[in-house]
Amino acid sequence: MSAPNAAGWRPEMSAAEGAAPPTSSGDRGLMLEEKLIFELAAPGGCGVDLDQPQGEVSPALGRFRRAEPAALPGLSEPEVVRHYTRLSRQNYAIDLGPFPLGSCTMKHNPRLNERVARLPGFADVHPLQPVQTVQGALAVINELAHWLITLTGMHGVAMSPKAGAHGELCGVLCIKAALEARGEHRPVMLVPESAHGTNPATAAFAGFAIESIPAGPDGRIDLAALKGRLGPDVAGVMITNPNTCGLFERDLKTIADAVHAAGGYVYCDGANFNAIVGKVRPGDLGVDAMHINLHKTFSTPHGGGGPGSGPVVLSEALSPFGPLPFTARQADGSIRLIEEADAAAAGHPHGFGRMAAFHGQMGMFTRALTYILSHGADGLRQVAEDAVLNANYVLRSLDDVLEAPYGHAGPCMHEALFTDHGMAEGFTTLDVAKGLIDEGFHPMTVYFPLVVHGAMLVEPTECESKDGLDRFIGSLRAVAERAKAGDPSLKAAPHHAPRRRLDETAAARKPVLVWRDPA
């Protein structure tokens, strides 16, 4: 039996039982079934009145005259507004409830950050403005860079990378440049099983051969296996810490010492920095390079492909090889943007080049600095503590109904990891995720990390209250119990979403990206 909705109706109930069946139109109260905008359009429809152009078309422009009207939908202004408003009601948002996506850190975005980012001088700044006209923007970048160096205990920072994987590439290219400066050819990059999937992809893109390092039974790096592989052909190791199993790599300092002794460098994926910010400085653990997702740790809009920002903090050994440009405060207090022509005079002659045409993502810089300044050092420490507390509350509240593969390894960090082991035959993680949609929640990350079969990775973030967590835990528990009991209706979930379960494999392999008039 599936769970009843608020009205007490279940999908398998018939009208004879006294329950109202779904409407034949597909509408559900205020949730209207919505057609594509092209299907809503009417011939000749338009939201504005445009006067016909007067006079003859310039001969120079005549070749651009359309032979036939553009294939655009024609609707009135109210129809357009209502269409997109109805679509927005079908979209899940952080302002409606939690996004429990592990390794994504979809936290609340304080409105203060948004207000600051929209201030004149920030929102309308242009990358080609003369440096003397953007001193305020450069001061923000310089101040943020100072905070990132301080929080991580590192020596320098490259602010121009646009997102996490872009930052990874920056760090790996710094390692490659440092090795070339030493005249060494080290073609291998070691990547633990517990690292983010972008790590091996980034190293391969930079020209390294990838070798995997296994995890031990506690979900952490097998220290003996890593040490046993170090040698003169190893450029370094790319470690995610906390790792994708939601666990802190306790041996990172020992690993770093061993890698350095072997002549390599340590790259740390800092996507999960929000779990340790204010508590641990990666520089103290021997990290040489680490990207920081400003759009995750410091609460800027995240998801849907952007916007993002991935500054890379660098150790003293790698700082000379960081990319251009970067900001430098002058003796008179002004801030200068150091470009290629100024690099040697600024004491930075060995940088590997540029990561992007311009300096960085201004909208993310202003939001991140606002977040940092509004919290302060003590507040940022509490961010990490609350994120870890919430994740452990979720872990221990559900480990009696969902298997926690590393629950025996002690407390987790910011993510609680479960598997589909123990469910009724034929029921999987996907069924739990789809059932959670019926409960009004966005599903957790599924089937990741790949080292755990049927993985369900939950990251509650520090923003969620105990009441909110209890509501989520109760819903996930109810769905998990249905999966363990073999409730057949769960195989068809979601029942109450705007769309039923889709063929996701076909959608990925045969996407329909352009609307075609069936006529």
Residues 185 and 221 both lie in one domain: yes
In a domain, 164, yes or no: yes
Q: Give the model's pLDDT for residue 500.
A: 86
Better pLDDT: 480 or 327? 480
Task: Assign residue 361 the CATH number of its domain.
Answer: 3.40.640.10
Residue 342 has pLDDT above 70, yes or no: yes
pLDDT above 60 for 17: no
Q: Is residue 65 part of a domain?
A: no
Query: Is it the case that residue 295 has pLDDT exceeding 90?
Result: no
Whether residues 138 and 268 fall in one domain: yes
Position 12 pLDDT exceeds 60:
no
Return the H-helix or E-strand segment holding 238: strand 234-240
Q: Are residues 279 and 386 in the same domain?
A: no
The pLDDT value given to residue 15: 43
Residues 169 and 258 in one domain: yes
The domain that contains 380 carries what CATH number? 3.90.1150.10
Q: Are residues 353 and 394 in the same domain?
A: no
Judge whether 57 lies within some domain: no
Determine the pLDDT at residue 304.
56
For 273, list phi and psi in degrees, rounded to 5. -60, -25
**Domain shared by 185 and 326, yes or no:** yes
β-strands 335-338, 209-213: how paired? unpaired
**Between the ranges 47-56, 93-102, 167-176, where is the mean pLDDT highest?**
167-176
Peptide bond into 282 cis (omega under 30): no
Q: Given this model, what pLDDT does residue 264 score?
A: 98
For residue 383, pLDDT beyond 60: yes
Percentage, residues of the chain above pLDDT 90:
69
Give helix 362-398 / helix 466-485 axis angle, nearest 10°. 60
**358 and 389: one domain?**
no
pLDDT of residue 429: 98
319: left (phi over 0), alpha (psi -120 to 50) or beta: alpha
Nearest to 365 by CA among 198, 39, 142: 142
Whether residues 121 and 217 share a domain: the answer is: yes
End-to-end CA gap in the chain: 43
Q: How confident is the model at residue 220 (pLDDT cuts 50, 70, 90)?
A: very high
Domain boundary among 341, 368, 395: 368
- Amino acid 457: pLDDT: 97
Question: Do the Cβ atoms of 381 and 352 come closer than 8 Å?
Answer: no
Look at strands 312-314 and 156-158 and give their pairing: antiparallel
Within 128-245, residue ranges assigned H as helices are 135-152, 164-181, 198-205, 223-229
What's the average model confidence in pLDDT over 339-345?
Answer: 85
Kindly report the number of other CB atoms within 10 A of residue 514's CB atom. Answer: 5
Contacts with 165 (C-beta within 8 Å, 6 or more apart), sequence order: 198, 201, 202, 310
3-state secondary structure of 162: coil
Structure tokens at 262: 């072997």
248 is a domain residue: yes
Residue range(s) defining the domain that contains residue 263: 112-368
Closest alpha carbon to 455 in 494, 412, 405: 405
Q: Which two tokens stand for residue 111?
A: 């409105």
CA-nearest of 340, 85, 50, 289 to 169 is 289
* pLDDT tens-digit map of 447-476: 999 889 999 999 999 999 999 999 999 999
Q: What residue type is 473 in one-letter code?
A: I
Give the model confidence (pLDDT) of 185-206 as tens digits. Answer: 999 999 999 898 899 999 999 9
The verdict on 384 and 484 lying in the same domain is: yes
pLDDT score for 393: 98
Q: How many domains, in total, are found in the chain?
A: 2
Written as one letter, the residue type at 289 is A
CA distance 37 to 498: 16
pLDDT band at 303 (very low <50, low <70, confident <90, very high): low
In a domain, 7, yes or no: no
CA distance 390 to 346: 46
Last residue of a domain, one of 368, 393, 413: 368
- Structural domain contains residue 92: no
Which one, of 482, 407, 390, 401, lies nearest residue 439 by Cα? 482
Last residue of a domain, one of 368, 393, 419: 368
Are 225 and 362 part of one and the same domain?
yes
- Specify the pLDDT at position 31: 79
**Using an 8 Å Cβ cutoff, are 317 and 291 in contact?**
no
Same domain, 345 and 383: no
Report the 10 Å Cβ neighbour count for 25.
8
Query: How much is the mean pLDDT over the chain?
Result: 90
Q: Is residue 307 part of a domain?
A: yes
Per-residue pLDDT, averaged over 248-253, amounts to: 96
157 lies in some domain: yes
Comparing CA positions, the residue from 162, 353, 195 lying closest to residue 266 is 195
Which residues lie across from 189 on neighbouring strands? Answer: 210, 236
Same domain, 441 and 353: no
The burial class, CB within 10 Å (0-12 / 13-18 / 19+), for 147 is middle
Asked if 455 contacts 443 with a C-beta cutoff of 8 angstroms, the reply is no
User: Span 311-337, mean pLDDT?
Assistant: 93
Average pLDDT over residues 318-340: 90
> Tokens for 302?
């995240």
Whether 8 has a pLDDT exceeding 70, the answer reads no
